[in-house]
Chains A and B, each alone.
Chain A
Amino acid sequence: MSLINSAPDMVITTKVDELLNWTRKSSVWYMLFGLACCAIEMMQTGGPRADLERFGAVPRATPRQSDMMIIAGTLTLKMALRTKVLYDQMPDPKYVISMGSCSNCGGLFQLAYSVCDGVDKVIPVDVYVPGCPPRPEALTEGLLKLQEKMMQERWLVKKASAGAEAQAA
């Protein structure tokens, strides 16, 4: 008699990969980090109305405890180098959401002398959220898209760079 037949209400079968991904996507802690006006919308998204915490996303005040970085706002050249340092301080696996036109491509300030037009020139980006600024719903959608992406990852494949490949895919 198998375990499943004896206790059907208490057992769930799954793949280990999916279990890992499920635990990982259910606690995407994002870094408490805002650059410009998009950060105000990000605060709203973390607030009670949009409530990002119901998806397990909690702000952390240090990159060393964060899984995700939301680039919320205009990235200046001065800040670009510091953003790279912050990204490097985050432990793997790490994810980046580029929030708003400015961090996607420079946006309104694309031709300005002081602005890095696109955060993807500095660090790899997983999800781009369009808008100027995006509404909290849009950022929530961005997080859900990231969670979908995280569920696709395969960590236990016998390949040296399997995790890195999954992240890059």
Chain B
Amino acid sequence: MTPAEVHQTAQERFGEAIESFNEKALDPFIVVKPTAVVEVCRFLKEEPTCAFDCLSNMSGVDYLKENKIQVVLHLYSYLHRHDIVVKVDVPRDNPTMPSVEGLWKAANWQEREIYDLLGVVFTDHPDLRRLLMPEDWIGHPLRKDFVEPEEYHGISTRRESLLK
């Protein structure tokens, strides 16, 4: 199936929940409402003509000016050899979306990473802890307005340039 056909199939089933579709992007993507993401993803996974059995990648992007965080899911079907990108926009001040960990186990650590670095809270995630940063770290480093703290447990994060 082409991305347009995948979009059409999902559009017919979910209607309003599919916000938009961009076919001209390098990886054509559909934008899905946060509340409907699990239903749409389950449909994309279980519908025999789609059969997206593999979550290749899951990441997040911080759009400071638009005041949103975009979660990006790259789906691939080993059965049909086709792929699609699903994007979910969540508001920056309350970034919450349901977890897709129940559909693809690969999402477990990916969602933990997105939570760690961007602060998106995935509801129903079985183990939503920080993945890369220390457990007691404050803030989410990949947010555009993140300010690095001066020190961490007495370890200064500043060092004079060795070239001076």
Q: Which residues of A contact B (CB under 8 A)?
A: 76-78, 80-81, 105-106, 110, 113-114, 116-118, 121-122
Smallest CB gap from B134: residue in A: A78
Q: Are A117 and B159 in contact (CB under 8 A)?
A: yes
Given contacts A113-B141, A114-B141, 15 further A-B contacts (CB under 8 A): A77-B133, A77-B152, A77-B155, A78-B132, A78-B133, A78-B134, A80-B152, A81-B134, A105-B159, A105-B162, A114-B132, A116-B155, A117-B157, A118-B159, A121-B155
Select the residue from A76, A113, A122 with max chain B CB neighbours within 10 A: A113
Q: Are A114 and B159 in contact (CB under 8 A)?
A: no
Q: Are B148 and A113 in contact (CB under 8 A)?
A: yes
Q: How far is the CA of A116 from the CA of B132 in the complex (A)?
A: 14
Residues of B within 8 A of A81 (CB): 134, 153
Inter-chain contact total with CB atoms closer than 8 Å: 33
Q: Are B159 and A106 in contact (CB under 8 A)?
A: yes
Q: How far is the CB of A128 from chain B (nearest CB, A)?
A: 12
Smallest CB gap from B162: residue in A: A105
Q: How far is the CA of A118 from the CA of B152 in the complex (A)?
A: 14
Q: How far is the CB of B144 from chain A (nearest CB, A)?
A: 13
Q: How far is the CB of A9 from chain B (nearest CB, A)?
A: 54
Q: Are A77 and B159 in contact (CB under 8 A)?
A: no
Sample (25) of A-B pairs whose CB atoms are under 8 Å apart: A76-B132, A77-B133, A77-B137, A77-B155, A78-B132, A78-B133, A78-B134, A80-B152, A80-B153, A80-B155, A81-B134, A81-B153, A105-B162, A113-B141, A113-B146, A113-B148, A114-B132, A114-B133, A114-B141, A116-B155, A116-B157, A117-B157, A117-B159, A121-B155, A121-B156
Q: How far is the CA of A155 from the CA of B137 in the complex (A)?
A: 43
